[in-house]
Every structure is written in structure tokens, then in C-alpha cells.
């Protein structure tokens, strides 16, 4: 590792071994659970897209049935577990899949992947052990009884479906013969839109109904505009290693608040982040981040990553800065998932023996955001600015130079509700809010907005230890309108 990780202050963290089974007490100050059970293995977890409202999570675990000896060569049972309180407590579900009017139990089924539909139903792809027949099935009772969907060209030819991603009623399916799309919840499927078998977990993700990203067999990250029927090579390699492939994941609440993250576990700081729907990408700085083994993302720029040292890290600003949350998660880490609920992000880490849960409290956000229809005013020479009728003091005054209004960056950022970062080494000031990041360099006439450079007719300057920036270009980058009142020498900023 090239840096020393800072432990975050003021962040409330709880980690617990999920209580599908009895669990041990805390293992001291490291807040880790001891592994005391070896008769089962957590295979994967699936978080509801409506997690903030329904707190629903499913998990497949593997264990020996009560009647079966651990020394037996018979297969373990795939047990479906469900939590309705965000992963705190769990229940086992007796589940059956209907095949030719016969319901087969969990000993007869190999599950591959599962996803959620808008109406609350579930879709599951898998294989029957006794007949080796592949299937896609649905459940409308929360995972108990499943009905197969078989009337399409793939299952008629017994082609396996390994990965599923959902956005509304649109499905993205990774069949062994290629990638296909369903617009009706899995009833019918398109012909292959990409003739590549995307069998690795994390090889595809969906941003919205028409935008998705895949890692092809060569390890290249491709973007798809399904409305136009076009693929685009992002130029990013996420091949990984022979034993561990790369991964891509996405999270969004809207087009203005989205994050797409790809990572290559074979290289230092191999994390690539886009916050403009995949148009532009930024690699994490290898001076502040080492290798990662797995990651997940949440809207608002949050990324959670696990290192080879089994540490769990978080970035709350699209991968720019990182903090250590835990040390030494026990066991081989298989996967990591997260979901936001209010000001909390629930993080679930799958190891070869256990499933860990953490509640991460989002850092307090800047509260000086401009309310709707409210005007911010900076007046030349004044040591204060106003937000609506409220005056807020400053320890520096705005001024005019070369017919441009300059304001202290700290107070403009506060007024806009943006977070501010200053890099003394590069003389760079960075402001970020939501999915927008603005970079300016002292005495440089470029402004960089989400990686796109644009020339401006003025430059940021430093005076008496204070950084001043042109109000207009920065405010407009965050979607505000700026007007200059020459008579009163006032800049008016409105949303």
C-alpha cells in the first residue's frame, strides 16, 4: 500500500455476523466476528432495488441437510434465506421450482442468479440437477414457489443463463451463447446483441432501461445504448487475473445522480469512475490507493472497496479520497453489496464462511444549499453574502479585477452546497456536489467540469492566503444562473 489509511471519525459503524445461525461474540476491538460454523457457505446476496422502503435482502447459502453426513459425497443443499429488516435477522425459506407440473425442492436445483421485478416478483436462473435442464423461473410469493418460463429460443435449446440484470421490466441476460435483452420480464428474448458468454459475476450492469455496461471476453469495458442499438468501447481494460476477473457496477437515483465503477484487480488503484453516464472516466490515484479485490457503489459518489489485506475502505467523493472502516475481515472475500436507506448505507460482505453487515452513516452534508427560488448575493467589497434574507459573514471580501467578480472559494462553495478540496501541491481547488466535479488551478485559464476542459477568460488567484475564483463559471457549472448588477456591483446567483 502506498499510503497510510485514516480511520474515519464521527462515523457510526456496526458489524455483525448475520444471524441465520448462532454466532459468536465480538472479537475485541477490531469489531470482527469469529468464524465458528463450517457446515455452510454463503454463496451470494441479492438486495431489493426498493431497499429503502422494504428492507428486503435474499441470500443463498450452502449446507448439509440434517440427514446427510459431512463426509458424504452427496451435494450440499442450496438454502434460500430472506431478511425483511435490512439484513439484521434472517429466516430460511422452503422453496420449490415447478418442472413439468412437478415441484422440485432445493436439493434438486442449482441457482445461478436472481433479480427483482417492479411488481415485487423475483426471477431466478438456474439448472435442475436430475435432468441438467436450464431454466428461468419467477416467484410471486417472496421466494417460496417458483414457476418456469421456458417458451423461448434459448431454453428450448437448453442454453444456460448465468447472469441477470434488471431495470424496470427490461432484463439483460448473459446466456452461454451471448448477451440478450428481454422487454417483457423474461417471457421473450432478443437474439444475441453481443456474441460473448459473460459468465463471470460482475461482468455486466444496468444503469437505466437503455444503458448498460459489460466486460467482454477480452476484458474490455463496453457501453451499450440499446435505444440506438450501438456499442461503444470505453477504452478501459478490466481483464483482471486468471483467477479473478474485473467487475463493473452502477448505481443511480436519476441521470444527474449516477455512478458507474469498473475495477481491475490486477493493477494498483485499478478503479475507474464515471459520473456522467459513462461518457467520461477517471482512474483513482495510485498515490492514495493500492490494489482492491472487490467493490460496490451507491448513489451520491459512494464506493466501498475491500483490499488484499482484508480491510474495508470507503470513498464518499467518487474515489478521490479514501478512509479505512474496518481491519481484517476474516475469510476469503467473495462479494460485496450495498444499498442506501436515508442517511445510512447498509454494506454486506460475503466471505467463504460468513456474511458481514455494516451500517455506514453518510458524512454530514453542507447545509448551506440554496433553496428553490432563493437568490445568493455577493457584493463587491462586502465581508458578507446573503442567501435570501439571511446575511452570512465572511473573513474576506469579494472584489473586481479585470472586469470580473472574484469571490472567496470557501464561501461560494458553502453557498452552492458544494464540498471543497484544496491541493497545495498542484495549486488546484476542487468543488463537488452530486455528480458534478469542478477543478480549477491557480493562474490557469481552464475550468474542468467532470473531466471536460474549457477555456475561460479569467483565472483563479490567491491573495493573503485566500483562494478567489470567478463566481460565474463555477456557479454555472453546478446549474445555477448568474446575473451581474452593475449599479450595485452585485452578483446574483439563482437556481
pLDDT digits (tens, 9 = 90+) for 127-148: 999 999 999 999 999 999 999 9
Asked whether residue 107 carries a pLDDT value surpassing 70, the answer given is yes
| Domain ranges (residues) in the chain | 15-361, 375-494
Cut 0.85: pTM above it: no
Looking at every residue in the chain, the average pLDDT score rounds to 83
* pLDDT in the model for residue 23: 29
Asked whether residue 94 carries a pLDDT value surpassing 70, the answer given is yes
CA distance 354 to 33: 9
Asked whether residue 447 carries a pLDDT value surpassing 70, the answer given is yes
* pLDDT top residue among 399 and 394: 399
Grid cell locating 237? 481494460
Mean pLDDT of 100-115: 92
- Kindly report the number of other CB atoms within 10 A of residue 41's CB atom: 18
H/E run at residue 349: strand 344-351
Mean pLDDT of 157-163: 95
Asked whether residue 334 carries a pLDDT value surpassing 50, the answer given is yes
Contact, 418 vs 478, CB < 8 A? yes
* pLDDT in the model for residue 416: 87
* pLDDT top residue among 342 and 166: 166
The one-character DSSP state at 26 is: B
Question: CA-based Rg of the chain, rounded to a whole angstrom?
Answer: 26
Asked whether residue 178 carries a pLDDT value surpassing 90, the answer given is yes
Asked whether residue 102 carries a pLDDT value surpassing 60, the answer given is yes
CATH of 375-494, one of 2.40.70.10, 3.40.50.300, 3.30.457.10, 2.60.130.10: 3.30.457.10
* pLDDT in the model for residue 338: 95
Q: How confident is the model at residue 328 (pLDDT cuts 50, 70, 90)?
A: low
Contact, 70 vs 54, CB < 8 A? no
Digit-coded pLDDT (tens) for 220-255: 999 999 889 999 999 999 988 888 889 999 998 776
Contact, 202 vs 192, CB < 8 A? no
Residue-wise DSSP of 255-289 = TTEEEEEEE-TTSTT-EEEESSTTSS-EEPPTTT-
* pLDDT in the model for residue 324: 80
Grid cell locating 488? 450595485
* pLDDT in the model for residue 31: 35
CATH of 15-361, one of 3.40.930.10, 3.20.20.70, 2.130.10.10, 3.40.50.2000: 2.130.10.10
Beta-carbon contacts of 147 under 8 Å, excluding residues fewer than 6 positions away, are 98, 137, 138, 139
Q: Minimum mean pLDDT among 63-72, 211-220, 370-379, 401-410: which range? A: 63-72
- Percent of the chain past pLDDT 70, that is, above it, reads 87
Asked whether residue 374 carries a pLDDT value surpassing 60, the answer given is yes
Asked whether residue 204 carries a pLDDT value surpassing 90, the answer given is yes
Beta-carbon contacts of 380 under 8 Å, excluding residues fewer than 6 positions away, are 397, 398, 399, 400, 405, 489, 490
Amino acid at each position: 500500500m502506498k499510503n497510510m489509511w485514516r480511520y474515519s471519525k464521527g462515523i457510526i459503524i456496526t458489524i455483525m455476523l448475520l444471524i441465520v445461525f448462532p454466532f459468536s461474540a465480538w472479537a475485541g476491538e477490531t469489531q470482527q466476528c469469529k468464524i465458528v460454523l463450517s457446515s455452510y457457505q454463503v454463496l451470494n446476496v441479492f438486495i431489493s432495488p426498493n431497499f429503502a422502503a422494504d428492507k428486503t435482502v435474499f441470500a443463498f447459502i450452502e449446507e448439509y441437510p440434517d440427514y446427510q453426513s459431512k463426509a458424504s459425497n452427496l451435494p450440499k443443499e442450496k438454502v434460500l434465506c430472506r431478511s425483511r429488516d435490512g439484513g439484521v435477522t434472517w429466516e430460511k425459506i422452503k422453496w420449490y421450482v415447478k418442472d413439468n407440473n412437478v415441484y422440485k425442492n432445493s436439493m434438486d436445483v442449482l441457482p445461478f442468479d436472481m433479480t427483482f421485478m417492479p411488481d415485487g416478483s423475483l426471477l431466478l436462473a438456474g439448472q435442475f440437477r436430475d435432468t441438467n435442464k436450464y431454466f428461468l423461473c419467477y416467484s410471486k410469493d417472496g421466494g417460496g414457489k417458483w414457476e418456469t418460463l421456458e417458451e423461448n429460443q434459448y431454453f428450448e435449446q437448453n442454453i444456460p443463463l448465468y447472469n441477470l440484470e434488471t431495470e424496470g421490466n427490461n432484463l439483460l441476460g448473459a446466456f452461454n451463447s451471448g448477451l440478450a435483452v428481454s422487454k417483457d420480464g423474461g417471457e421473450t428474448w432478443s437474439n444475441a446483441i453481443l456474441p460473448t458468454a459473460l459468465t463471470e459475476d460482475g461482468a455486466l450492469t444496468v444503469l437505466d432501461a437503455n444503458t448498460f455496461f459489460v466486460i467482454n471476453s477480452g476484458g474490455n469495458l463496453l457501453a451499450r445504448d440499446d435505444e440506438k442499438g450501438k456499442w461503444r468501447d470505453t477504452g478501459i481494460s478490466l481483464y483482471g487475473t486468471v483467477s479473478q476477473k474485473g467487475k463493473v457496477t452502477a448505481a443511480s437515483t436519476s441521470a444527474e445522480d449516477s455512478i458507474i465503477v469498473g475495477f481491475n484487480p490486477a493493477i494498483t488503484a485499478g478503479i475507474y469512475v464515471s459520473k456522467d453516464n459513462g461518457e467520461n472516466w477517471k482512474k483513482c490515484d495510485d498515490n492514495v490507493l493500492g490494489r482492491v479485490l472487490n467493490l460496490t457503489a451507491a448513489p451520491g459518489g459512494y464506493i466501498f472497496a475491500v483490499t488484499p489485506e482484508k480491510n474495508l475502505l470507503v470513498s464518499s467523493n467518487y474515489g478521490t479520497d479514501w478512509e479505512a472502516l474496518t481491519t481484517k475481515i476474516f475469510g476469503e472475500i467473495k462479494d460485496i453489496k450495498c444499498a442506501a436507506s436515508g442517511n445510512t448505507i447498509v454494506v454486506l460482505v460475503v466471505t467463504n464462511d460468513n456474511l458481514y453487515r455494516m451500517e455506514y452513516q453518510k458524512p454530514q452534508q453542507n447545509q448551506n444549499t440554496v433553496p428553490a427560488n432563493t437568490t445568493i448575493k455577493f457584493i463587491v467589497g462586502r465581508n458578507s453574502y446573503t442567501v435570501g434574507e439571511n446575511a452570512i459573514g465572511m473573513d474576506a471580501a469579494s472584489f473586481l479585477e479585470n472586469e470580473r467578480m472574484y469571490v472567496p472559494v470557501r464561501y461560494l462553495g458553502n453557498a452552492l452546497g458544494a464540498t471543497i478540496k484544496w491541493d497545495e501541491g498542484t495549486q488546484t481547488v476542487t468543488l463537488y456536489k452530486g455528480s458534478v466535479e469542478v477543478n480549477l488551478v491557480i493562474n490557469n485559464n481552464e475550468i474542468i467540469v467532470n473531466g471536460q476542459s474549457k477555456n475561460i477568460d479569467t483565472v483563479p488567484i490567491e491573495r493573503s492566503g485566500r483562494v478567489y475564483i470567478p463566481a460565474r463559471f463555477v456557479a454555472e457549472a453546478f446549474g445555477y444562473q448568474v446575473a451581474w448588477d452593475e449599479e450595485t456591483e452585485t452578483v446574483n446567483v439563482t437556481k
